[in-house]
Amino acid sequence: MTFIGKDLKVVGTRPIRPDGVDKVTGRANFGADMTMPGMIWGKIKRSPHAHARIKRIYTEKALSLPGVKAVVTAADFPDIAAEEAFAGEAIMDFRDLSRNCMARGKVLYDGHAVAAVAATSPAIAEAALDLIEIEYEVLPFVIDVEAAMAEDAPLLHDTLFTQGVEPKPSRPSNIAKRINFTKGDVEAGFREADHIIERRYTGKPVHQGYIEPHACVAAVAADGQCMIWSSSQGHFMVRQYCAHLLGIDISNIRAMPAEIGGGFGGKTLVYLEPVALALARKSGRPVKIVMTREEVFRASGPAAGSVVEVKLGAKKDGRLTAGEVVLKYQAGAFPGSPVGPGCMCAFAMYDLPNASVTGYDVVCNRPKVAAYRAPGAPNASWGVESCLDELAIELGIDPLSLREKNAARDGTKAVHGPTWQNIGYAETLAAVRAHPHWTAPLGPGQGRGIASGFWFNIGGESSAAVHIAEDGTAAVATGNPDIGGSRASIAMMVAEVLGIPVERVRAIVADTASIGYTFLTGGSRVTFATGMAATEAAERVVEELKKRAAMMWEISPEAVEWRDGMAYPAGPNAGAFEPLSLGEIAFRSARTGGPISAELSINAQGAGPGFGTHICDVEVDRETGAVKILRYTAIQDVGRAIHPAYVEGQLQGGVTQGIGWALNEEYIYDGEGRLDNPGFLDYRIPVASDLPMIDTVLVEVPNPRHPFGARGVGEVPIVPPTAAVANAIYRAAGVRLRDLPMSPPHVLAALDKSDG
């Protein structure tokens, strides 16, 4: 049943978030908060080298330190064969994942785990790390993407041969994969153009910057049953990966979701859990491992750094005739950058008759990249959305008109294949034109830029259970850790279906033994897919409630109507009985057939793609190169905002991270290939005082495949900011920045060059 277009009582309102009180009072249990009787502490020994062969590991001294209960190295893990897995929004390989959790043979980046200890206190574990001696043969290393692609670059993997090129290469390379797809006739498209523009844009790796470091506790019982408590974006993922990496039956692992302090994609894979499990297995004690912030920076995340080359051809009136992009993405130490989605996102917003997209997935001596909010899309759009702005300027067309002229609409065949249906991109452009921000006056030294962004959003496997309590309240359990407000949105959808106030529905995140399989929290899928499962489960409960009322009245269930949380006799029986409330039916449920509940497992299809357009005003300090964000408006098609305040928060959060990416954030390496800024004193994420209030406009073009019309909303908003800021800087100061971050020294250097 669809609720689109219906008069709704709960969906679309802004109730207090159900997880809020625990979080602001410090009662919420995050990854590091779990303790168990007999628990000991694990710590990880990490490589100080960017690239080195491990010749020998001496663990004897560490093991003889009083209090040390176990030491593990790669020898304690099975050496598993290559096998691809789909990890949220990226492809990864179990062999690589195993070697990322614990280096085998070689270390591939500064911070790569090479051994681990468990001891009776963190201080002893720390001291034991110093007693582990490792003999390395230091190897030449390579940090940057184009350097890694060079013929004579140091090779990370002797077994890596470039996929996607003909003939099959005979020599190994750091280029893991080449992707290409084309639409139409690109050469003809460029011949047809009145104007061609060709530019190159670069970006550095940036970290997801979640406030909670990775943390877990693992325990192994004498009979082999394992328990893992951890902060992740998917405890079913934790269960599956740990089982695979350690050779344990899935049924012998129970994974418990901790409250999660941010993930943004960076917690869609495991780092600590397999190590803690190996230590627990060896020591016979529960083992807790908590990363320091330095470890988070050196060994988890980040997003890919990239080089993006863009060529666009257009008629004088701005109509695009052809486009070509080449995307070179850093994967980090193992293959699997998000260059695939980057390629698909590059031109997804435009109706482009002829296009060619080529992507390279390149390994280098940095931590393996992890998903980060719309993985791959910000890199591609940084190039394409900047280049479109440069084209608009050269053609003398305003950048909004240029986008309106070329916007993808229903029926447009996207360069990467699909034909768009029910999309709201043009609606976001119309909202820009109508917004007072678009025409507000600007002062001297100020400028305004716009840029758009796209993300697919996904559906997938989800389970939800709705239980009615004897007092007529409801519990809804799902298998998704709540990183973006899913407990609120799911409780609201269930309350809407049941016809009761949302305060009477409690949403929880159930562990892997307590709910059906649920794919991880990622791809902006939870409110869509798990929300769909919960809605349908609630609908089944309503059917059951009607049956029970019918039984109590001794009439046919078809003659019962459910309205506002009450059963009413309908049809010929209308008015024959007093209506029965949910509470009254629940109270008597033992007499009418037992407890009332429904669980549903689905593979949700039909996620609606998301489009957004942002307006950004900046002021450039010509003497220092500092860029100040004066005003920012994020406009996005959200399908249907279940809890609008949460949706606005998603937009604001994405914009904030995008602005950090634009202006300041970057991984900085020293001459030895070591990360130079692994902490928030040196890695510069924006804070509230750096930014103005970020205004949002929620455009609602419903997704017909979701009962309430919802689309994923969390990822699109990080896509436009880098280009929106650069485009604003150009209009404020007359300089075009094509390298991220646009930090003050870089902006000043560009200003000096343009003045000179």
Partner 1 sequence: MYEFEYHRPANLDEVGRILGAREEAKIVAGGMTLIPTLKQRLAHPSDLIDLGAISSLRGIREEGDRIVIGAMTRHVEVERSAIVQRGIPALAALAGHIGDPAVRNRGTIGGSIANNDPAADYPAAVLALGGSVKTTKREIAADPFFTGMFETALDPSEIITAVSFPKPQAAAYQKFPNPASRYAIAGVFVARFPNAVRVAVTGAAPCVFRVPEMEAALSRSFSADAIKDIKIPEGGLNTDIHASAEYRAHLVGVMARRAVAACG
Instruction: Give the C-alpha separation, 648 to 628, whole Å.
Output: 22
Question: Taking CB under 8 A as the rule, does residue 623 contact partner 1?
Answer: yes
- Map 293-360 to HEC letters: HHHHHHHCCCCCCEEEEEEEEECCCCCEEEEEEEEEEEEECCCCCCHHHHHHHHCCCECCCCEEEEEE
Question: Taking CB under 8 A as the rule, does residue 543 contact partner 1?
Answer: no
Instruction: Give the C-alpha separation, 189 to 313, whole Å.
Output: 7
Between 657 and 664, CB nearer to partner 1:
664
Question: Taking CB under 8 A as the rule, does residue 677 contact partner 1?
Answer: yes
Please enumerate in sequence order all residues whose Cβ is within 8 A of that of 123, keeping only pairs 6 or more positions apart, or say none: none
Between 84 and 676, CB nearer to partner 1:
676
Question: Taking CB under 8 A as the rule, does residue 672 contact partner 1?
Answer: no
Phi then psi for 489, rounded to 5 degrees? -70, -35
Of 250, 335, 381, 287, nearest in space to 42 by CA:
287
Question: Taking CB under 8 A as the rule, does residue 19 contact partner 1?
Answer: no
**Helix axes 235-246 and 94-101, enclosed angle (nearest 10):** 90
Supply 552's token pair.
């109590």
Phi then psi for 209, rounded to 5 degrees? 70, 25
Between 213 and 453, CB nearer to partner 1:
213
Closest distance of CB 742 from partner 1, Å: 12
* Region 36-75 residues binding partner 1, contact defined as CB under 8 A: none
The region of 42-50, 404-412, 678-686, 727-735 touching partner 1 under the rule CB under 8 A is: 678-686
The region of 9-17, 200-208, 585-593, 743-751 touching partner 1 under the rule CB under 8 A is: 743-751
Task: Report the DSSP beta bridge partners of residue 623.
Answer: none
Task: Report the DSSP beta bridge partners of residue 226.
Answer: 220, 253
Between 115 and 663, CB nearer to partner 1:
663
Closest distance of CB 745 from partner 1, Å: 5
Between 573 and 677, CB nearer to partner 1:
677
Instruction: Give the C-alpha separation, 153 to 119, whole Å.
Output: 41
Q: How far is CA 223 from the centre of its chain?
A: 37
Residue 609 vs residues 33, 456, 482, 753: alpha-carbon distances, Å: 37, 5, 21, 41
The region of 154-162, 408-416, 466-474, 739-747 touching partner 1 under the rule CB under 8 A is: 739-747
Given a contact cutoff of 8 angstroms between Cβ atoms, the answer to whether 699 and 428 are in contact is yes
Q: Write the binding mask 106 to 135 for partner 1: x where contact by CB under 8 A, - elsewhere.
A: --------------------x---------
Supply 723's token pair.
């280009």
Between 156 and 742, CB nearer to partner 1:
742
Closest distance of CB 175 from partner 1, Å: 29
Q: How many residues interact with partner 1 (rule CB under 8 A)? A: 22
Q: Write the binding mask 683 to 712 for partner 1: x where contact by CB under 8 A, - elsewhere.
A: xxxxx--x----------------------
Between 83 and 130, CB nearer to partner 1:
130
Instruction: Give the C-alpha separation, 73 to 79, whole Å.
Output: 12
Answer left, alpha or beta for residue 589, where phi above 0 means left and psi between -120 and 50 means alpha: alpha
Supply 641's token pair.
């905002």
Please enumerate in sequence order all residues whose Cβ is within 8 A of that of 79, keeping only pairs 6 or more positions apart, or say none: 98, 104
At CA 721, angle to CA 148 and CA 424, rounded to 5? 115
Closest distance of CB 682 from partner 1, Å: 6
Question: Taking CB under 8 A as the rule, does residue 664 contact partner 1?
Answer: yes
Between 418 and 745, CB nearer to partner 1:
745
Q: Write the binding mask 220 to 249 for partner 1: x where contact by CB under 8 A, - elsewhere.
A: ------------------------------
Q: Which of 27, 564, 682, 754 binds partner 1 (CB under 8 A)?
A: 682
Question: Taking CB under 8 A as the rule, does residue 681 contact partner 1?
Answer: yes
Question: Taking CB under 8 A as the rule, does residue 744 contact partner 1?
Answer: yes
Of 604, 694, 699, nearest in space to 644 by CA:
699
The region of 207-215, 445-453, 512-520, 680-688 touching partner 1 under the rule CB under 8 A is: 680-688
Q: Which of 138, 139, 442, 626 binds partner 1 (CB under 8 A)?
A: 626
Between 299 and 663, CB nearer to partner 1:
663
Closest distance of CB 44 from partner 1, Å: 17
Between 327 and 747, CB nearer to partner 1:
747
Between 540 and 746, CB nearer to partner 1:
746
Between 444 and 572, CB nearer to partner 1:
444
Type of residue found at 615: I
- Give the binding site for partner 1 (CB under 8 A): 126, 623-624, 626, 663-664, 668, 676-677, 680-687, 690, 743-745, 748
